[in-house]
Chains A and B, each alone.
Chain A
Amino acid sequence: MLKITDLHANINGKEILRGINLEIKAGEVHAIMGPNGSGKSTLASVIAGKEDFEVTEGSVVLNGEDLSEFAPEVRAHKGVFLSFQYPIEIPGVTVTNFIKTAINETRKAQGLEELPAKEMLQLIREKADLLEIDRKFLSRSLNEGFSGGEKKRNEIFQMAMLEPQLAILDETDSGLDIDALKVVANGVNKLKSEKNAVLLITHYQRLLDYIVPDFVHVLYNGKIVKSGGKELAYELEEKGYDWLK
């Protein structure tokens, strides 16, 4: 589904990604771990199409299609979803209106009719229940004054609504207490299928107890220095990253 080949990316002339190779197949869960500054969030942003980064070499191919020339919204329409480490506050736009707009713009891009209001409402309720989100929460301004846990839960709620093919969860576990982590992980697990894939980006092995990866990759200094099964995460937890340098 996703094939990243020799990916190099700069920000303000500084090279952050130095030749990433990664292949993710449908139905798989991959985790990328690594110390601070290793390029984890950059990789997530580059896949999602953030314009601050300049791709200098290599490619990101989704379902056989090179994404490099596509704007972030086009990538979203093609099935890429990025759950932000720090979701942005948008005063004056409610959670409901935001997700309605996102859904309908995506449908429009896919040549579909807008979702009828009734069906939309039903879908919103269903997914809100899945993430144990209070209905009142949906009429609040997006992320404004949300706690860290509420923001992350809201990210996964949006993911549930948009049903992406490739979900990239950037540090979704940070700022979550254990109960919230369970709710979020449970949500992700329920959404997982043979047709989609998840890329987890995390510092700690903790999240991987709840969302079990098929593969774990260690990112260091802009390169994947080691790949393995889920046991690699435990090894990292035990030994730290120093032995890989």
Chain B
Amino acid sequence: MELKEKLVSSFLAFENKGNIDLDSTVHAMRLKAIQNFEKEGFPTKRDEEWKYTSLNPLLKYDFSLFPNAEKSVGFKNVESYLINDIESYTLIFIDGVFSSFLSETTHEDCDVCVLSSALARPKYKMVIDNYLNTIANKNNSLSELNTAFVKEGAYINIPKNTIVPKPIQIINFSTGSEKEVLLQPRNLIVVGENSHVQIIERHQNLSKNTTLTNSVTEIFVHKRAIVDYYKIQNDTNESSLIDSTFISQKQQSVASVSTFSFGGKITRNNLEFYHEGENITSNLNGISILNEKQHVDNHTLVDHKSPNCESHELYKGIYADKSVGVFNGKVIVRQAAQKTNAFQQNNSILIDDGATINSKPQLEIFADDVKCSHGCTIGQLDESALFYMQSRGIPKKEAKALLLYAFANDVVEKIKIPQLKALISKLIAKKLNVQLGFEL
């Protein structure tokens, strides 16, 4: 059976499981979404937005849709994927099921808990009704697929005037309890006026089995709120990720998303920002360092709808072996969005002849009094720089790494959590297979 058929035919069974007493609006939402997905199906390369990324290699698997969670996962198994040297709230999901044992949640000054309970309890109904699936892009059939099976994920609700004292880590593990597994986490994050939160998200396969994760996150950033969101994508070569993140920002808010892609088989990031007020700042940063046959596709959208807002976008990529990178950065500046400042930059280095980058800046500007710029460079390692460094006694391998490190460094510098910055530096060094005697 094809994956699409399997998903559609499993929908009723999923709905009838009835293990959660859900509000009827959620059922209606799911039904609408599965109908949309059934109509649209998985995107193909004929679709302009998927021209450079094919899901075909993934769709051939016989994915288990409702895996049995591996119960024997202990802290020891997952420890190394957590940032342990800081205090944090943690939301840990094992094969799609929340692990209260491994997690640290709170309801004290804010809600850092799970969507399944928010969906089930009347107390949260208003938040769910007001926010859930309100900004997820309905033209994105994969996001619709996620909505059809919406059940579990992070539920984070920060009331106004709250500075969340420690970062929140959301980590989805798969254990290989099934040979091939499809996971569909759904995160809902609402950040009230003047509040501030830092979130780190990671997906990690603990086994050699095949995993496909179709994740959707909706983030609502109210007036003057600040959100720093970090995505660590360093999964195994058997793991693929389709991540769709939708962000709605109110006036004077600042939302920053940094995506670090070092691993995985196929990774597709849909990152969309929608401005709903003036003086908004959106920051989009990314580093991809790929080798072998890894494929990472960063598809971003910033929709400037109001005046006096800015967006800053900086994506860097280092591609070795036969890896493939895609960057598609769309910036819309609507007619009302006068005095917009929108900057976009995509720099890539191709290390080997077999590596590919497809870079496509896409600016649609309908306002006349705006500053918009985009730059795109694709280069190779500078041989003369390598000789220069070698002539000073730095071996070629270290010289290459130093150049690549320096190339990626301005994105690393933007990380606001020191321990995370150290981790990312470490992951980069590991990926480049070198040890440097200092931090840049």
Contacts and interface: CB of A to CB of B under 8 A. Distances in A.
Main secondary structure of the interface of B (DSSP, over half): helix
Contact of B438 (A48, A51, A101): A101
Contacts of B384: 88
Interface in A157-209: 158, 162
B369 interface: no
Contact of B388 (A49, A84, A105, A109): A84
Nearest to A92: B406
A83 to B, nearest CB: 9
A104 B382 contact: no
A97 interface: yes
Given A50-B387, A51-B387, A88-B385, A77 B393 contact: yes
A72 interface: yes
Nearest to B390: A72
A82 interface: yes
Contacts of B395: 71, 73, 105
A92 B405 contact: yes
Contacts of A82: 391
A84 B391 CA distance: 10
A50 B436 CA distance: 24
A105 B391 contact: no
B409 interface: yes
Contacts of B389: 90, 98, 102
A91 B413 CA distance: 14
A101 B390 CA distance: 11
Interface SS majority for chain A? helix
Interface in B25-62: none
B4 interface: no
B396 interface: yes
Nearest to A72: B390
B182 interface: no
Contact of B398 (A77, A97, A105): A105
B437 interface: yes
8 contacts: A72-B390, A73-B395, A76-B391, A76-B392, A77-B393, A84-B391, A90-B385, A158-B392
Given A49-B391, A101-B437, 18 more contacts: A71-B395, A73-B395, A75-B391, A76-B392, A80-B391, A81-B392, A88-B384, A90-B388, A90-B389, A91-B406, A92-B405, A92-B406, A98-B392, A101-B402, A103-B393, A105-B394, A114-B437, A158-B392
